[in-house]
A and B are shown apart, each in its own frame.
Chain A
Amino acid sequence: MYRRGDELGPQMHNRLALRIAIFGGVAIALFAALFFRLWFLQVLNSDKYLAEANNNRTREFRVSAPRGKILDRNGNALVANRTSLALQINPRKLPASEGERRAELAQLADLTHSTPRRLRKTIHEQVTLAPGAPVTLRRDVGHYLVYYLQENQARFPGVAVERVFVRRYPDGTLAAHILGNVGEVSEAQLKERRYRGLQPGDEVGQDGVEDTYDHFLRGRPGITRIQVDALGQPTRNGRLVSQPPVPGDNLKLTIDSEVQAAGEAALAARGLPGGFVTMNVDNGEILGLGSFPTFDPSVFTQPLTQAQVNQLYRDPVLAPLTDRAIAGLYPTGSTFKLITAIAALESGVITPSTTIVDGGSLTVGGESFQNAGGASYGSLTLVPALQVSSDVFFYTLGLDMWDTGDLQHWAHKLGIGRPTGLDLPGAAEGLLPSQHWRNQLYKHGETERPWSAGDNIQLATGQGDLQTNPLQMAIAYAAMANGGTVVTPHIGKEVDDAAGRVLVEFDPGPRRKIKIDPEYRAAILEGLHEAAQAPGGTSYAVFGGFPVPVAGKTGTAQRVGHADQSWYIVLAPYPNPRIVTAVTIEEGGFGAESAAPAALQILEAYFGKRSSGESGPNGGSPG
């Protein structure tokens, strides 16, 4: 057939045919494998691979949205934003060789006052959380560093400087406790419903109104979904979706900067820990609320140094982060007498004209309760008893109500020892001592004696186990002043858009209404007015010369292990008060000594009027 076997010999013939056949068989097998694999990939599994391909080529870049500003009630910015330069690194662009990478990180650590170890940790954490996104190594880098990096770009592959928004506090420490701070959302927070949709690295309010109204302030980060190539680099015309960031809305507070500043200055002038609150008595809008010592909220825009941590978190005495106006747990001294008075009147223990003889002390069960300063006022009705702050008068009322529960009933109705509904985190509930409370403790062996008349006598004058704070007292006073409405205190007033249009108004409405006889109210306010501005009143020395008629009550709380704590709560203007101001100063002595002058400073700021003369005629007795 063919001229074959000429060189190989004829015996090769059949063997060759076999070998070619095997060769062909192998070829068929290999092609079958390829075809089958192709079928498997493209026909059987194409959906899966198409999904993978689509997932592959897009990257989402989040552009952080500036948070809304926080304004006071007059539109002055309390918190604004500033742009800051953040040092970022793109881990994909770091040098491939381990040695070079190490060297670069070492240099960066040097420049950012960090350690290579910490940088590596940061990078590792952020890369696992958000792969593909640049890692922020440090915020607020100085311009000198930026210039240095730009000039030496070749030495720092993958390093970039990004503009980010950082909180700015134009008034320094003003309203620090109210404003709170922002920080990166924590892992625990991400699981909460209210933070749904956020990603690690996003910033949220961590305290104060930043926290409460985070939803409005936060804004929505812009999302740019772009097509990228295998190196994560954007492709030409590869922008798929571009959702610009939506800045957060502005939050307008009920705070009046002037009142706030005056209150803080008043506390700072005393130099002692304390708190104050000034509130609209009718609707619960808080005009000022502060605590001393305070802190600079801008420290939270950078990682804290150890010294700052020690100062902010590890000082149990000064505890600058504690808002004493809402989280304090103090007895109130004589400021509580307003509550005792209304309880006694409403429960029929006395009438405004009932006379009680103040002989300087009241002896119950062998225990003697005395007036402060050893005074003795003789026969008193309610109004003069409030004016001079007769302890014996109120001891008597406390004794009369010791097992009726009327005092606790009214104190509870007025909001003592219960949540206030304030729109700030960290408020304390406090404690209103009662027969039930102590007897329960006694039953469980946590105290050595059951409820006694002495407990109620103490409570009637705001001493003993009572634990409350300026805010709760202000609410109680406000309810008295407005004729029975227990307001919901609030700091958020409204949410405005950037143009100032109101988007949401916050009006939480009253918490509850209680029935107060107008005659009793008038009597009590008269007593308080006499105390503040009639000669012989406990705070006449302070408020005697103030041109606006006010009704105010001093308090001197005794705390075990502390010097007396000074209290003053004032309603103004008398007889139809618009605002209440409550001030307490730890170890501030008599009420008229430190808290009352501080309250005066606040009222002066609110009414824009100065007190005439340094003080009124002396003659008030301390309460």
Chain B
Amino acid sequence: MYATRTRRARPEPFALRPGIAERLGLPYMDATLGLAAVGLVAFSVFTLGQATQHDIPGDPGYYVDRQTIYAVLGLIGMYLLARIDYSRFRELRVGIYTFLCASVSLVFVFGVAARGSRRSFELPLFSFQPSELGKLLLVLALAGFVIDGARRGSARQRTVRYLCLGFAPAALVFLQPDLGTSLVYGAITLAVMYVGGVRWTHFALIGAVIVALVALVLVVAPAIGTPILKGYQEQRLTSFLNPSGDPSDAGYQQNQAKIAVGSGGKTGRGDRATQTRLDFVPERHTDFIFAVIGERYGFMGAAFVLSLYALLIWRALRIVTLSKNSYGTLVAGGIAAMLLFQVFVNVGMNLGIMPITGIPLPLLSYGGSSVLATLLAVGVLQSIHMQARLSQKGRFAW
């Protein structure tokens, strides 16, 4: 870290005509982070290209073409965001938060229903799912509120305030209903509070409340006849504990995903893959894309993908420590937690160690909103990195 800094901070007495890379700001960005993100999204396109050729009759490139467009748009967005000083979002926190709550609420009115839930708007070219972008917006807004309120009220009041701020959009998303994304919101909220210094005792209390709530939702509420989760949600959450043979229920899907991954072996089955090619594993282009990778490319492919995620999250955590201000620290921490939570829950679900919650795998799962939101989040990380580098140089971007 130090060696890098000294090399970059070489004297430039005649810096009249900076190089093209300098002008694009590339030296100040985190190359490893960028390459990990590009690598993942490229792997996504590659996998979709092989695995979804027959999904849409007459249009073998349906998913690939769209995912490529989302990736390109996302990468452009990532770059543009990287060049903006993220600190401005702190000032816009109220606006961002309002927009977040409004957009996830508007789907109740204007959203298109898909499989019993309203999560997205139908836009020309693609349908936009506000709750995906909302993850990033929540990080940006909540980090701002935490910084802003650091000296206001007692510690207990602050904790309650942060929880309420996180809980509101999470509840709206939960009602869409989208259990998985609302859990991500919860994870983000807790992570920002954690990095923001909320007391351990408060976390212990929150943990106790969560345990009690889970018990209430899964055990007590159904027992007294007022179930809170919809039947399929509860089934998905609990079925990984006892997989069953009925193709129509969630335990079966989980079991099939596990078989898919296991059957891939060390080097994968390639086009001879059957589990993910013949619909034994549902949602192979979205939630269960990791099973596709596991079956087609085996341990080599799956471990490669996991390594890219590890790289991504390591760089995100590194940026937490690098940030020039606390806002950046909190934002980077929130994004790191968001990525870690999603990767662990999704891959864990594919491997049969986590419940099925409908959380997409960042950058790999097909879906414009998710790819775009994740790449923008990486862009924010890049921005934090860039501002830190520039401030070390004693210069500010524009």
Task: A8-B326, A23-B191, A23-B194 are known; give 15 further A-B pairs, CB within 8 A.
Answer: A2-B323, A8-B150, A8-B196, A15-B197, A19-B195, A20-B320, A23-B333, A23-B337, A27-B317, A31-B310, A42-B299, A49-B260, A49-B261, A50-B263, A231-B247
Q: Which of B16-24, B274-282, B369-377 lies at the binding interface?
A: B274-282
Q: How far is the CA of A7 from the CA of B310 in the complex (A)?
A: 30
Q: How far is the CA of A34 from the CA of B323 in the complex (A)?
A: 29
Q: How far does the Cβ of A54 sit from chain B's closest Cβ, in whole Å?
A: 7
Interface footprint category on B: 35 or more
Q: How far is the CA of A26 from the CA of B306 in the complex (A)?
A: 16
A42 touches B274 (CB 8 A): no
Q: How far is the CA of A43 from the CA of B324 in the complex (A)?
A: 44
Given that A4-B326, A31-B310, A50-B263 are known contacts, is A41 also in contact with B274, CB under 8 Å in the complex? no
Is A46 on the interface with B (CB-CB < 8 A)?
Answer: yes
Q: Which of B65-73, B98-106, B117-125, B343-351 lies at the binding interface?
A: B343-351
B317 touches A46 (CB 8 A): no
Q: How far is the CA of A48 from the CA of B191 in the complex (A)?
A: 39
B263 touches A53 (CB 8 A): yes
Is B96 on the interface with A (CB-CB < 8 A)?
Answer: no
| Nearest chain B residue, comparing its CB with the CB of A22 | B194
Interface size on A, residues (CB 8 A): 49
Q: Which of A196-204, A222-230, A595-603 lies at the binding interface?
A: A222-230
Q: How far is the CA of A15 from the CA of B196 in the complex (A)?
A: 10
Q: Can you list 6 contacts pairing A with B, beta carbon distance less than 8 Å?
A: A20-B321, A23-B194, A27-B317, A41-B258, A42-B264, A238-B278
Is B266 on the interface with A (CB-CB < 8 A)?
Answer: yes
8 tightest CB-CB pairs across the interface, nearest first? A49-B262, A46-B265, A53-B263, A229-B279, A42-B299, A41-B262, A50-B263, A229-B278
A43 touches B147 (CB 8 A): no
A227 touches B262 (CB 8 A): no
For window 226-262 of B, CB contacts with A under 8 Å fall at 247-248, 256, 258-262
B344 touches A30 (CB 8 A): yes
B194 touches A19 (CB 8 A): yes
Is B45 on the interface with A (CB-CB < 8 A)?
Answer: no
Is A313 on the interface with B (CB-CB < 8 A)?
Answer: no
Q: How far is the CA of A235 from the CA of B55 in the complex (A)?
A: 12
Interface string of A1-45 (1 = CB under 8 A from B): 011111111001001110110011011001101110111011101
A34 touches B351 (CB 8 A): yes
Interface string of A50-80 (1 = CB under 8 A from B): 1011101100000000000000000000000
| Nearest chain B residue, comparing its CB with the CB of A45 | B262
Is B355 on the interface with A (CB-CB < 8 A)?
Answer: no
Return chain A residues, CB-CB under 8 Å to B47: none
B263 touches A43 (CB 8 A): no
A42 touches B265 (CB 8 A): yes
Return chain B residues, CB-CB under 8 Å to A45: 262
Q: How far does the Cβ of B397 sit from chain A's closest Cβ, in whole Å?
A: 16
| Nearest chain B residue, comparing its CB with the CB of A35 | B306
Q: How far does the Cβ of B87 sit from chain A's closest Cβ, in whole Å?
A: 11
Q: How far does the Cβ of B223 sit from chain A's closest Cβ, in whole Å?
A: 22
Q: How far is the CA of A227 from the CA of B266 in the complex (A)?
A: 24
B278 touches A228 (CB 8 A): yes
B263 touches A49 (CB 8 A): yes
Return chain A residues, CB-CB under 8 Å to B325: 3-4, 6-7
Q: How far does the Cβ of A58 sit from chain B's closest Cβ, in whole Å?
A: 9
Is B303 on the interface with A (CB-CB < 8 A)?
Answer: yes
> Which one of B262, B265, B281, B344 has the highest number of Cβ atoms from chain A below 10 Å of its Cβ?
B262
Return chain B residues, CB-CB under 8 Å to A229: 278-280
Residue from B299, B313, B327 within 8 A of A27 (CB atoms) = B313
Instruction: Enumerate chain A interface residues (CB-CB to B < 8 A).
Output: 2-9, 12, 15-17, 19-20, 23-24, 26-27, 30-31, 33-35, 37-39, 41-43, 45-46, 48-50, 52-54, 56-57, 92, 96, 227-231, 235-236, 238
Q: How far does the Cβ of A199 sit from chain B's closest Cβ, in whole Å?
A: 20
Return chain B residues, CB-CB under 8 Å to A31: 306, 309-310, 313, 344
B195 touches A43 (CB 8 A): no
A231 touches B279 (CB 8 A): yes
B353 touches A227 (CB 8 A): no
| Nearest chain A residue, comparing its CB with the CB of B310 | A31
| Nearest chain A residue, comparing its CB with the CB of B281 | A230
B279 touches A43 (CB 8 A): no
Return chain A residues, CB-CB under 8 Å to B333: 20, 23
| Nearest chain A residue, comparing its CB with the CB of B302 | A38
Return chain B residues, CB-CB under 8 Å to A54: 263, 274
Given that A27-B313, A229-B280 are known contacts, is A53 also in contact with B340, CB under 8 Å in the complex? no
Return chain B residues, CB-CB under 8 Å to A235: 278
Return chain B residues, CB-CB under 8 Å to A20: 195, 317, 320-321, 333
Q: How far does the Cβ of A181 sit from chain B's closest Cβ, in whole Å?
A: 38
B248 touches A46 (CB 8 A): no
| Nearest chain B residue, comparing its CB with the CB of A233 | B279
Q: How far is the CA of A49 from the CA of B352 in the complex (A)?
A: 13
Return chain A residues, CB-CB under 8 Å to B324: 2-4
Given that A34-B347, A41-B261, A42-B262 are known contacts, is A5 also in contact with B353, CB under 8 Å in the complex? no
Residue from A2, A23, A227 within 8 A of B336 (CB atoms) = A23
Is B391 on the interface with A (CB-CB < 8 A)?
Answer: yes
B321 touches A48 (CB 8 A): no
Given that A8-B197, A57-B278, A229-B279 are known contacts, is A39 also in contact with B299, CB under 8 Å in the complex? yes
Q: How far is the CA of A115 from the CA of B314 in the complex (A)?
A: 66
Return chain B residues, CB-CB under 8 Å to A33: 344, 348, 353
Is B294 on the interface with A (CB-CB < 8 A)?
Answer: yes
Residue from A19, A27, A49, A92 within 8 A of B258 (CB atoms) = A49
Return chain B residues, CB-CB under 8 Å to A57: 274-275, 278, 280
> Which one of A24, A49, A54 has the highest number of Cβ atoms from chain B below 10 Å of its Cβ?
A49
A42 touches B391 (CB 8 A): no
Given that A7-B327, A12-B197, A34-B351 are known contacts, is A48 also in contact with B262, CB under 8 Å in the complex? yes
Return chain A residues, CB-CB under 8 Å to B169: none
Q: How far is the CA of A48 from the CA of B255 in the complex (A)?
A: 13
Q: How far is the CA of A197 from the CA of B265 in the complex (A)?
A: 34
A42 touches B294 (CB 8 A): yes
Return chain B residues, CB-CB under 8 Å to A238: 278
A230 touches B279 (CB 8 A): yes
| Nearest chain A residue, comparing its CB with the CB of B255 | A52
| Nearest chain B residue, comparing its CB with the CB of A6 | B325
For window 326-370 of B, CB contacts with A under 8 Å fall at 326-327, 329, 333, 336-337, 340, 344, 347-348, 351-353
Is B298 on the interface with A (CB-CB < 8 A)?
Answer: yes
Q: How far is the CA of A6 from the CA of B351 in the complex (A)?
A: 43
Residue from B261, B278, B302, B323 within 8 A of A230 (CB atoms) = B278
Q: How far is the CA of A228 from the CA of B279 in the complex (A)?
A: 9
Residue from A15, A27, A46 within 8 A of B263 (CB atoms) = A46
Q: How far does the Cβ of B311 sit from chain A's closest Cβ, in whole Å?
A: 10
Q: How far does the Cβ of B284 sit from chain A's closest Cβ, in whole Å?
A: 11
A24 touches B317 (CB 8 A): yes
Residue from B260, B306, B320, B321 within 8 A of A53 (CB atoms) = B260
Q: How far does the Cβ of B6 sit from chain A's closest Cβ, in whole Å?
A: 14
Residue from A15, A17, A27, A46 within 8 A of B262 (CB atoms) = A46
A38 touches B303 (CB 8 A): yes
Return chain B residues, CB-CB under 8 Å to A30: 340, 344
Q: How far is the CA of A93 from the CA of B31 in the complex (A)?
A: 53
Return chain B residues, CB-CB under 8 Å to A43: 265-266, 299
Q: How far does the Cβ of A226 sit from chain B's closest Cβ, in whole Å?
A: 11
Q: How far does the Cβ of B169 sit from chain A's closest Cβ, in whole Å?
A: 23
Given that A31-B310, A49-B258, A57-B280 are known contacts, is A38 also in contact with B294, CB under 8 Å in the complex? yes
